[in-house]
């Protein structure tokens, strides 16, 4: 079985896995980083969203063989202590219902705010359109993203 040196959340992990193994299952089963969720396995729901070199990616659609030395960030590595403005805004606005989609939502939003720090409502909705929420928390997601954008403008550390 091939081995890979995976850079996840600032640490390097030596991983043995079949080349077509989606990064999702390496993170979840081998590294026990279960914050990244499985929802569909076909790139439809966004529950498995992570960052690869800061860009949002669907980990269920990312074979481990394609990752190389790129930097992977998961929800567990978004901030050391849950203090990312998005994480705080998510709590302030009580966004989660079941919560299953929310790691993916936050990872999509975090990458989005890097590229668009002052988004409109429409821009937020478009950026988040790849992340399904079965429980229907979209309005609160929009509010929380806006709130986090504002606090980042005011110097809140991303």
Partner 1 sequence: MNAPHHPFSRRDFLRVTTLAGGGFALSLALPPEAWAEVGQALDDTAKFFTPGPFIKITPEGIITILAKNPETGQGIKTSLPMIIAEELDVDFSTVVIEQAALRKDVGPQFAGGSRSTPDNYLRMRQAGATARAMLIEAAAQIWQVRPTELSTDQGKVIHAASGRSLTYGQLATKAATLPLPAENTIKLKRDDSFRLLGSRVGGVDNPLIVTGRAEFGIDQKLPGLVYAALEKCPVFGGKVVSANLERIKALPGVLDAFVIEGTDNINGLLPGVAIIARSTWAAFSAKRQLQIVWDESAAPGHSTEAYAGQAAILAAAGGTNIRREGDVVAAMATASKVVTGTYFYPFLNHATLEPQGCTAWARDGGIEFWTTSQTPGSGQELVASTLKISKEKLKLNLVRAGGGFGRRLANDYLVEAAAIALRTHGAPVKLTWTREDDMRHCFYRPAGFHFLKGAIDAQGRLSAWHNHFVTFGYKNTERPASSASLSPDELPARFIPNFELEQSIIPTIVPTGPMRAPGSNGLAFVMQSFIDELAHAAGRDPVEFRLELLGNDRVVPPAAGQRGNPYDVGRMKAVIALAAEKSGWGQALPRGQGRGVAFHFSHAGYVALVAEVMVTTDGTLTVRQVTAAVDVGPIINLSGAENQVQGSIIDGISMAWLQEITHDRGRTVQSNFNDYPLLRSTETPAMSVNFIQSKNPPTGLGEPVYPAVPPAICNAIFAATGHRIRQLPINKTDLRWS
Question: For binding to partner 1 (CB under 8 A), which residues are involved?
Answer: 1, 17-18, 20-22, 25, 28-30, 32-42, 44-45, 47, 74-76, 78-79, 82, 86-87, 90-92, 94-103, 106, 124-126, 128-129, 131-142
Find the binding residues for ligand FES in span 43-102 (CB under 6 A).
43-48, 58, 60, 96-102
Any idea what DSSP says for residue 63?
Answer: B
Q: Is 27 in contact with 50 (CB distance < 8 Å)? A: yes
Find the binding residues for ligand FES in span 1-40 (CB under 6 A).
38-40
Q: How far is the CB of 23 from ligand FES (least distance, A)?
A: 10
* Residue (97 or 151) nearer to partner 1, CB: 97
Distance (Å, rounded) from C-alpha 94 to C-alpha 89?
8
Q: Is 131 in contact with 46 (CB distance < 8 Å)? A: yes
* Residue (92 or 114) nearer to partner 1, CB: 92
Instruction: Give the total of residues touching ligand FES (CB under 6 A).
Output: 23
Q: How far is the CB of 153 from ligand FES (least distance, A)?
A: 27
* Residue (9 or 108) nearer to ligand FES, CB: 108
Distance (Å, rounded) from C-alpha 62 to C-alpha 17?
13
Distance (Å, rounded) from C-alpha 94 to C-alpha 144?
9
Residue among 18, 54, 134, 153 that touches ligand FES (CB under 6 A): 134
Q: How far is the CB of 155 from ligand FES (least distance, A)?
A: 30
For residue 102, give Cα distances in angstroms to 14, 15, 119: 28, 27, 20
Query: CA-based Rg of the chain, rounded to a whole angstrom?
Result: 15
* Among 48, 54, 49, residue whose Cα is nearest residue 115: 54
């Amino acid at each position: 079985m091939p081995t890979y040196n995976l850079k996840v959340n600032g640490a390097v992990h030596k991983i043995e896995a079949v080349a077509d193994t989606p990064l999702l299952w390496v993170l979840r089963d081998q590294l026990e980083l279960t914050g990244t969720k499985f929802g569909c396995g076909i790139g439809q729901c966004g529950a498995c969203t992570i960052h690869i070199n800061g860009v949002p990616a669907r980990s269920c659609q990312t074979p481990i063989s394609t990752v190389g030395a790129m930097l992977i960030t998961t929800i567990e590595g978004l901030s050391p202590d849950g203090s990312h403005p998005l994480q705080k805004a998510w709590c302030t606005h009580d966004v989660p219902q079941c919560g299953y989609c929310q790691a993916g939502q936050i990872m999509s939003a975090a990458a989005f705010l890097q590229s668009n720090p002052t988004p409109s409502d429409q821009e937020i909705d478009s950026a988040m359109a790849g992340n399904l929420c079965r429980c229907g928390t979209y309005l609160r997601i929009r509010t929380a993203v806006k709130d986090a954008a504002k606090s980042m403008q005011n110097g809140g550390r991303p």
